A and B are shown apart, each in its own frame.
Chain A
Amino acid sequence: EVQLVQSGADVKKPGESLKISCKGSGYSFTDYWIGWVRQMPGKGLEWMGIIYPGDADTKYSPSFQGQVTMSVDKSISTAYLQWSSLKASDTAMYYCAKHRRRGLYGSGQAFDYWGQGTLVTVSS
């Protein structure tokens, strides 16, 4: 059974750093891109970017480039999303999700499995 299990909710102060995780199991972790999606309170889904666990190649949305860093440790089948200096506006639910097909974009691509989400709250 394919599963993506994310780290638990976190509460941070502005300016603090944070790294959240997404552990994959039940499939070949290094063969499928993993994406990150933000959902601010009461709002819609935003595509942040993706990472390829096989070689740690990353593609960021222009809106999130420079604001977050994606990384991966393929030895433990885990992808990460991190912030070096959080802002109140980073308060949101963050989801990881797996690409349905091998390969970057294109025909038949979709996010077929999703993590349960990690709620990040940034407040002074």
Chain B
Amino acid sequence: EIVLTQSPGTLSLSPGDRATLSCRASQSVSSSYLAWYQQRPGQAPRLLIYFASSRATGVPDRFSGSGSGTDFTLTISRLEPEDFAVYYCQQFDNSPSFGQGTKLEIK
């Protein structure tokens, strides 16, 4: 079973800042199997990134994903007020799993 560990647990930033969220896998994951989601309070998760770096339909280009092997990153270039939420990575190897999440909060 692949365990995904996200860091930091909480990230405190201001609107306009750059956010860098990390997702580390316990064993190598194909980059094509890695996705990122955003969950705002009281809402269902929303797909942001698949293939580790491809934006889903309607996702602003300030969101970008990168990485390979065991280390993956979600970057938000300039934070907007609506970006403060919880972010999860997920791998789709033969036993899918989610990371525990990173909460992005307003500083």
Check if A and B associate.
Answer: yes
Closest 8 CB pairs of A and B: A110-B35, A110-B50, A107-B32, A109-B92, A114-B44, A45-B98, A44-B101, A47-B96
Task: Check if B30 sits within 8 Å of A107, measured CB to CB.
Answer: yes
Q: A41 contacts the other chain (Cβ, under 8 Å)?
A: no
Q: Give, as a whole number of angstroms, the nearest-CB distance from A77 to chain B.
A: 19
Query: How many A-B contacts are there with CB distance less than 8 Å?
Result: 69
Q: B93 contacts the other chain (Cβ, under 8 Å)?
A: yes
- A-B residue pairs in contact (CB < 8 Å), sample of 20: A37-B98, A44-B86, A44-B88, A46-B98, A47-B97, A62-B95, A105-B92, A105-B94, A106-B33, A107-B33, A108-B32, A109-B33, A109-B35, A109-B50, A110-B56, A110-B92, A111-B47, A112-B47, A114-B45, A115-B44
Interface size class on chain A is: 20 to 34
